Structure 1
Amino acid sequence: MTNKELQAFDKKIKVLHLIKSLGRGGAEKLIPETALVHNQSQFEFHCIYFYHQENNITDELEKAGIKVHLIPSSNLGLFFQVKKVRHFIQSNEIDIIHAHLPWAGILARSVGNTLSIPIVYTEHNTWERYNKLSYWGNRISFKKQDVAIAVSNEVALSMSLNSIWDPYQRGGRMKLKVIQNGVNTDVFNRTGTQESKSKTIQGTVEKKAAGNNHQVSSLGRTLRMDLNIPENAAIIGIVAVFRSQKRLWLWVEVALEILTQNPTTHFILVGDGEWRERIVTKINKAGKSGNFHLVGVQKNVIPYLSLMDIYLSTSEFEGLPIAMLEAMSCEVPVVATSAGGIGEVIQQGIQGYLTEIEAWEKLSNYCIDLLQNPDLLHKMRLAARARVIEQFSMKRMVDELEQVYLEVLR
């Protein structure tokens, strides 16, 4: 959206984000991250959420200039919050509702039945992955909105196929648009470069040129010491909510296979969730607890991403994972299953390696080969960041969002 187009409005455009909860998932994190890039002299952002949990990101939204409001509710209780949300919209003269994920989407459409207000909905996953109640509630109400945004082409295809019984009509209210997730590449940046020598998993090698490999900054060295990771050990990691879709039990199996060939490798898992105890048990049974570091939920993941040599993902399904894009922006190549939008980002052999979702066993070989080839690893580091800058920047994402906002207001 150009400044001229924005200036056509004589007041700030008020956008209300609706989302069920504010945990540390990718959908939730995008709300403050996009707000920081929006022109807040032209936009005012509010957010209503309904389920409060520990380690949420309300403080991050507030620091981003978003006014946060909690209306306590369960999933089914959302249907009884329509009047409260409608009253909030009228009292605060909201211009646009932007809902995220099925439950908030269903609520937004219910509110919109009695209010003349544009509704934008962002879908972060394929419909086949939702439970039946979420699926049918989403499907039945889906056309009662102005724009449906898909975070990847696969998500867009899923939306189209699942609403084929109610086809999109020329001139109809709802439009479907793909806006791929983005990352603020100015913020997500690796913390330092090395000027002399670098040790790889194979031993010590002389650098071919100054700056050819990365060293950990003073913060990174302190973090290595805190985690008891040797200075020259290779590190493979992930940032994730520990839930079933991530298949972290397979992640650990891949890591254990890597250790059979590269016993000095260390593994960092940033996050938490229902699978934590089972993962810890699996690691302890293998007798490799010294090589694994479960550091819990971290508000600032950049120091951890900056330690990583490889970002490893074993997901069964995805939309377009923000954490992976953040890792790439920090010059971390990716070895992953081609779940969801991952296959739309990673070009095989350029920014990393992909396998089919059920061929996850091959991930260990790709990691081993990459760790044993420092020149290729360096080349992929640079290619990963370049890919994000060129195609997945937050600036590009926000420009596309603002264009959607302008279109629905027209």
Structure 2
Amino acid sequence: VIYNGLPTVKLPTKEEARRILSLPEDAFIIGNNARLTTQKNPLAFVEVAKQVVLEKPSSIFVWIGDGPLEYSVKAKVKEYNLEKNVRFYGFRKDSDIIVVAYDLFLFTSLYEGLPYAPLEALRAKVPVIATNVTGNCEVIDNKVTGHLVSNDMVNEAAKIIIDAINGENSITPETIEKNFEKKFSINTMIKKIEKNYCEE
């Protein structure tokens, strides 16, 4: 299989990215970069936040992206009194690099093709929690670069996040980087195309 490769980009430091988003440097940040649509399931993101914040009240959830569900999702955040913990930034052109601000990337989609947002997170060496659907399961190497969870994922994802905040996350940036370079870098894509071309 030849995946679309992502080019190498210059990333800000985690501290720089957090300053850009006005996020505290010492908080545990869980983020998602996606449209606020039914497919991306932002209400599940809020439900996970609700559970995590009950145990870890200083944790912060970030959503970068806009869309038709913006009003209803923000209303749910207000209903749960999570305005300090769940922050919305709308559409940003720099979302592919600002992802380095996150400690975990929480991708709640109900279905996918080959999603770019979690790939961009992996390029930034950020572990990904994603629903175990087609596309996501090609991007995430379970328990190596992240965690694949069921579509009914709220309890499962919340537990993984709380464990990570407690320092129980065994996934390392080095492992993520090696896996990404092996499967999804632009150089890997070019080499595979050249190999296939030469074999024909």
Query: By the TM > 0.5 criterion, same fold?
Result: yes
Q: Equivalent residue for 1:324?
A: 118
Pick the aligned partner of 1:384 from 176, 187, 192. 176
Work out whether 1:283 is the aligned partner of 2:77: yes
- In structure 2, what is the Cα distance between the partners aligned to 1:383 and 1:358? 28
Work out whether 1:339 is the aligned partner of 2:133: yes
How many correspondences in the alignment?
199
SS of corresponding position for 2:130: strand
What are the residue-to-residue correspondences of 1:240-389 with 2, within 5 Å?
Answer: 240-373=34-167, 376=169, 379-389=171-181
Pick the aligned partner of 1:395 from 159, 163, 187. 187
- In structure 2, what is the Cα distance between the partners aligned to 1:292 and 1:245? 20
Q: Equivalent residue for 1:84?
A: none
Pick the aligned partner of 2:2 from 179, 187, 212. 179
SS of corresponding position for 2:152: helix
Change in Cα spacing, 1:271 to 1:403, as seen in structure 2 (3 Å) is farther
Specify the code of the residue in structure 2 equivalent to 1:181.
N
**How far 1:344 sits from its partner (Å)?**
2.4
Change in Cα spacing, 1:232 to 1:355, as seen in structure 2 (3 Å) is same
1:72-98 CA-partner distances (Å, limit 9, x unpaired): xxxxxxxxxxxxxxxxxxxxxxxxxxx
What are the residue-to-residue correspondences of 1:3-152 with 2, within 5 Å?
Answer: none
Change in Cα spacing, 1:358 to 1:382, as seen in structure 2 (3 Å) is same
Q: Equivalent residue for 2:20?
A: 223
Specify the code of the residue in structure 2 equivalent to 1:235.
I
**How far 1:285 sits from its partner (Å)?**
1.1
Residue ranges of structure 2 left out of the alignment (5+ in a row): none
**How far 1:370 sits from its partner (Å)?**
1.3
- In structure 2, what is the Cα distance between the partners aligned to 1:220 and 1:344? 28
SS of corresponding position for 1:263: coil
**How far 1:252 sits from its partner (Å)?**
0.8
Contact kept in structure 1, 2:40 and 2:108, CA below 8 Å: yes
Change in Cα spacing, 1:298 to 1:370, as seen in structure 2 (3 Å) is same
- In structure 2, what is the Cα distance between the partners aligned to 1:188 and 1:402? 26
Contact kept in structure 1, 2:48 and 2:158, CA below 8 Å: yes
Q: Which has the higher strand share?
A: 1
Contact kept in structure 2, 1:331 and 1:382, CA below 8 Å: yes
- In structure 2, what is the Cα distance between the partners aligned to 1:390 and 1:402? 16
**How far 1:400 sits from its partner (Å)?**
5.0
SS of corresponding position for 2:188: helix
Highest CA radius of gyration, 1 or 2? 1
Task: Say what the alpha-carbon RMSD is for the aligned residues.
Answer: 2.4
SS of corresponding position for 1:252: helix
SS of corresponding position for 2:73: helix
Query: Percent identity over the alignment?
Result: 29
Contact kept in structure 1, 2:27 and 2:60, CA below 8 Å: yes
Change in Cα spacing, 1:397 to 1:275, as seen in structure 2 (3 Å) is farther
Residue ranges of structure 1 left out of the alignment (5+ in a row): 1-177, 193-215
Contact kept in structure 2, 1:337 and 1:360, CA below 8 Å: no
- In structure 2, what is the Cα distance between the partners aligned to 1:291 and 1:303? 22
SS of corresponding position for 2:122: helix
**How far 1:311 sits from its partner (Å)?**
0.3
